[in-house]
Structure 1
Amino acid sequence: MRIKVDIELCTGCETCIDSCPYDAIEMKDDKAFINEYCQLCRNCLNACPEGAIKEVEGEEPVVAEDLSIYKGVWVFAEQREGRVSDVALELLGVGKQLSEQRGTELSAVLFGADSSEAERLIHWGADRVYHCEDRIFDRFNDDPYVDLLTVLIKRYKPEIVLAGATPIGRSFIPRVAARLKTGLTADCTSLKIDPETGNLLQIRPAFGGNIMATILCPNTRPQMATVRPRVMKKGVFDESRTGEIIKIDAENLRCRTTVIDTVKEESETTCNLQEADIIVSGGRGIGGPDGFKMLEELAKLLDGAVGASRAAVDEGWISYAHQVGQTGKTVCPKIYIACGISGAVQHLVGMQSSDVIIAINKNEDAPIFSVANYAVVGDVKEIVPMLIKKLKEVKGL
């Protein structure tokens, strides 16, 4: 489906222009024309007094330009206090896979930090780093980030741009996409290249996490996506790798706001799931708060942390700080032990990148088993105490 103007009926009155929130109607030779920015909102259909704007079937949408001029995969390398964040290194890992499939180069974009961090990005897989060291990037501010990244994308025309779904990425990346009039898929859990079309397949939970949606951006470039920390795995660090570092001038960037101070939030909990090598998580199947005391004992013996499903948190059995999943924390431990967790999509997207997943559930058809490396079918209230007893014997406790 697409929207089309019947030029025989159009009088050039321009009444329709203000009806479009996407600037998709313009005038050519005194006639209205629907350009490539049309999002099929249909606001314009009733705006024309002559009935010249119609919805038609079987026609391909207008493509803005030759998309073949866009090449390369870019990763926006977020930094805080002069140190590149782990999510940037994780994106370099998946970015390398995408660039190899497309037969192109992988580049990183770094605002702030010093040259040693640019070198580190190359060691982690970047072939090229666009680096601006201007002091304006010492503290995050939307305006210069949006302005400079937009300029660089327009200048170098990458095919794919990836960024972290962090407070920084969520704040300014959508504005970049809006300026470029291209699509952006947030919170992706998987990124692949369509072998037939070469388009980026951007996969993420939808409709409350009840389905996994594959989203494409076939008619505009770049294809932009954000990914939450710890969803992807880091690539391989190679200190011998060499690459190109391109120094970028700030180009008279201005800020409409000034960051006066940054105050770090003091957390009352000592729970740090995202740094734990071993996580023991409980769901509704553990039965209540006493079940979490059992998991805490197991986690302590393993030098691990305690996690939870949303169902357990909603029941009030444990605090939100322990929640793993789409609406909680995304984790990637060496070992993830799921106890009495059925495995809703919302939970799986937060832990499925774990190195080893051990699932304990008495329902042999539980979805959690689809991602588990080791499946234990049985009552968690019987199996976990046996694990605790055996560990105490091994440790001589």
Structure 2
Amino acid sequence: MLGFAIRTKTWAHVQLFQRPIQFRDVSPLFLASYCRAEQRGAPPVSAHHFPNSEREERGRGRGMAAMVAGALRRGSGYACGGFRCSSRLLAQSLRRFASTLVVAEHEGGFVKPSSLSALAAAEAIAEENKISVLLGGSGPSLHKAADHAASSHPLVSEVLIADSEALAHPLAEPWAELLHSVQQKGGYSHVIASSTSFGKNMLPRAAALLDVSPVTDVTAIKEPRVFVRPIYAGNALCTVKYTGEDPCMMSIRSTSFSPTAEAMSETKVAPITQVDLSFLSEGTTGKSTWVNLTSQDTERPDLANARVVVTGGRGLKSAENFKLLEQLAEKFGAAVGATRAAVDAGYVPNDLQVGQTGKIVAPELYMAFAVSGAIQHLAGMRDSKVIVAVNKDADAPIFQVADYGLVADIFEVLDELLKKIPDKK
């Protein structure tokens, strides 16, 4: 026997009261008709017991459809109580309703571009998606960033802020505890973070606390639980389906999702709410402590978000020669990148490394000098709009992905470029 009640037109509010019943297949056509009727505002259905009569058998069918609808938000191919419906219908309904938490990073009172890309990814999950933004830190910059987040995307329904000194720095332990606490209270269907150093460090810890498996480096969202991600250092793309419990946690490549350019009106600004931080204690903040932050004073743009990137490889032979690239970058207003071989050789610091274990970039123009094109490096820059390669080895793999290639001595080319290109005003 089965009892059920539908109180609203939203799948999230389907309430079910189960009794022992037998396995029974649900007709996808019937389920689709039922869903359409419910969307049109049909009178709510209410039934409790179903004798073996034709009229009551139809009631049993409606009950099964309601039960399947209740399971839609969990993303399972099977509804609770043992009823089955087609995975295609499940995907169609999930595509319409979701609730997503975006873990955002901020700097200087603004949400970072990589986190704005995470909002764009959240928009792709479902047509009707309640998006919440989680920001942590302390001081005025946090609240300024919260104001920015509240007006950054038309689908943002709320901004959650965690104002605490324990969260002022990107330490994974307290942030994982924060995300665990927020998810337990919010019950989100999806959690998204960017594949930055912070996201890669924090997300697996939080997933372990929630007993779920994260999907990493997502480059495309086909369905609410079907994603595309690179494998084999970016040489192949794999389509994966998440079949675990909520939440579906994922990190996204910010270069694959363009932030929305839709204008926001003042009436759409999302409310800002302070998160309960009573869970924070010495036992939850972990054993890691923040020491300091070192950065180079430069007017060049951030490597991960630059429109133009000039990269050098080990073929530059010395740190002194790398300064030629820096001069060229200043003329273009570009960021400077490097291969892992150049970093390991000590030519430049490791925060300039581009590749699988470094920064993932997708600028409008990527210029590679003395870069051979190892697969690990290509994984970090193959999505660039235009790739220009200069190398004296005509068989270098970089030429296989380059839009324009020049086989020549890099020092002669750099010398000519520095002479011909005027300084940026």
Per the normalisation by structure 1, the TM-score is 0.64
| CA deviation profile, 1:49-72 (whole Å, cap 9, x unmatched) | xxxxxxxxxxxxx98976878723
Match of 2:148 among 101, 120, 123: 120
Match of 2:408 among 358, 374, 379: 379
Conservation of the 8 A alpha-carbon contact between 1:74 and 1:108: yes
CA apart distance, 1:121: 2.3
CA apart distance, 1:162: 0.9
The residue that corresponds to 2:311 in the other structure is 281
The 1:269/1:332 distance shift into structure 2, 3 A limit, reads: farther
Structure 2: 5+ residue runs without aligned partners?
1-75, 81-89
Conservation of the 8 A alpha-carbon contact between 1:324 and 1:351: yes
Conservation of the 8 A alpha-carbon contact between 1:64 and 1:219: no
Q: Match of 1:124, SS?
A: coil
CA apart distance, 1:146: 3.9
Q: Match of 1:72, SS?
A: strand
Match of 1:78 among 96, 105, 108: 105
The residue that corresponds to 1:92 in the other structure is 119
Say yes or no: does 1:107 pair with 2:134. Answer: no
| CA deviation profile, 1:335-361 (whole Å, cap 9, x unmatched) | 321123233332233334545432334
| CA deviation profile, 1:222-270 (whole Å, cap 9, x unmatched) | 2211246666543326232725436365173332356998543334685
Match of 1:184 among 188, 206, 214: 214
The 1:363/1:223 distance shift into structure 2, 3 A limit, reads: farther
CA apart distance, 1:107: 0.9
Q: Match of 1:252, SS?
A: coil
Q: Match of 1:71, SS?
A: strand
Structure 2 distance, partners of 1:115, 1:293, is 39
Match of 1:226 among 251, 258, 283: 251
Say yes or no: does 1:245 pair with 2:265. Answer: no
Equivalent residue letter for 2:344: D
The residue that corresponds to 2:58 in the other structure is none
Structure 2 distance, partners of 1:213, 1:108, is 28
The 1:182/1:213 distance shift into structure 2, 3 A limit, reads: same
- Tell me whether 299-308 or 285-294 shows the greater mean CA deviation: 285-294
Structure 2 distance, partners of 1:362, 1:286, is 12
Structure 2 distance, partners of 1:311, 1:168, is 24
The 1:251/1:277 distance shift into structure 2, 3 A limit, reads: closer
Q: Match of 2:302, SS?
A: helix
Equivalent residue letter for 1:90: S
The 1:139/1:318 distance shift into structure 2, 3 A limit, reads: closer
Conservation of the 8 A alpha-carbon contact between 1:283 and 1:308: yes
Whose RCO is larger (CA < 8 A, sep 6+)?
1
Equivalent residue letter for 1:128: V
Match of 1:320 among 347, 350, 364: 350
Conservation of the 8 A alpha-carbon contact between 1:189 and 1:349: no
Superposition map of 1:112-261 within 5 A: 112=136, 117-133=145-161, 135-136=163-164, 139=168, 145-166=175-196, 168-186=198-216, 188=217, 190-194=219-223, 198-206=224-232, 213-227=238-252, 232-236=257-261, 238-240=263-265, 242=268, 244-245=270-271, 247=273, 249-250=275-276, 252-257=278-283
Conservation of the 8 A alpha-carbon contact between 2:121 and 2:252: no
| CA deviation profile, 1:248-302 (whole Å, cap 9, x unmatched) | 6517333235699854333468596625553321224556667535434433433
Conservation of the 8 A alpha-carbon contact between 1:136 and 1:144: no
The 1:352/1:121 distance shift into structure 2, 3 A limit, reads: farther
Structure 2 distance, partners of 1:65, 1:199, is 16
Conservation of the 8 A alpha-carbon contact between 1:337 and 1:359: yes
The residue that corresponds to 2:387 in the other structure is 357
Equivalent residue letter for 2:221: K
Per the normalisation by structure 2, the TM-score is 0.60
Match of 1:266 among 290, 294, 308: 294
Structure 2 distance, partners of 1:261, 1:81, is 22
Q: How many residues align?
A: 324
Conservation of the 8 A alpha-carbon contact between 2:218 and 2:250: no
Conservation of the 8 A alpha-carbon contact between 2:98 and 2:130: no
- Tell me whether 343-352 or 134-143 shows the greater mean CA deviation: 134-143
The 1:133/1:71 distance shift into structure 2, 3 A limit, reads: closer
CA apart distance, 1:366: 5.1
Structure 1 distance, partners of 2:354, 2:103, is 26
Conservation of the 8 A alpha-carbon contact between 1:143 and 1:254: no
The 1:214/1:385 distance shift into structure 2, 3 A limit, reads: farther
Q: Match of 1:105, SS?
A: strand
Equivalent residue letter for 1:375: Y
| CA deviation profile, 1:110-169 (whole Å, cap 9, x unmatched) | 244766544422433251344344544663576764455335434554333211344543
Q: Match of 1:201, SS?
A: strand
Conservation of the 8 A alpha-carbon contact between 1:285 and 1:341: yes
CA apart distance, 1:184: 0.7
Conservation of the 8 A alpha-carbon contact between 1:339 and 1:361: yes
Measured on the aligned residues, the alpha-carbon RMSD in Å equals 4.2
Structure 1 distance, partners of 2:297, 2:274, is 42
Structure 2 distance, partners of 1:363, 1:212, is 29
Q: Match of 2:376, SS?
A: helix
Q: Match of 2:128, SS?
A: coil
Q: Which has the higher helix share?
A: 2
Structure 1: 5+ residue runs without aligned partners?
1-61
Equivalent residue letter for 2:248: Q
| CA deviation profile, 1:170-208 (whole Å, cap 9, x unmatched) | 44432332233221133x1513215xxx533141445x6
Equivalent residue letter for 2:377: H
Equivalent residue letter for 1:180: L
Equivalent residue letter for 2:159: H
Q: Match of 1:387, SS?
A: helix
Identity of aligned residues (%): 29
The 1:64/1:245 distance shift into structure 2, 3 A limit, reads: farther
